[in-house]
Structures are given as C-alpha cells and as structure tokens.
Amino acid sequence: MNKRALLCALFSVALGVLCLV
C-alpha cells in the first residue's frame, strides 16, 4: 500500500466531510 495514496484518500474524505458540513 502506498502512503501517498492513503493520504490522498484521507484528504478526499476530509474534504467531503467539510463540504457536507
């Protein structure tokens, strides 16, 4: 697993949550 990919996914989720809120 790539750490970069994991970070990207986490960031994407964080942005999605911020958008929802």
Start-end of H helices in 1-21: 3-20
pTM of the model: 0.42
Residue 20, amino acid: L
- State the Cα–Cα distance between residues 15 and 1, nearest whole angstrom: 22
Q: Give the pLDDT score at 20.
A: 75
- State the Cα–Cα distance between residues 10 and 5, nearest whole angstrom: 9
- State the Cα–Cα distance between residues 10 and 6, nearest whole angstrom: 6
pLDDT tens digit sequence for 1-21: 689 998 888 999 988 887 777
Q: Give the pLDDT score at 1.
A: 65
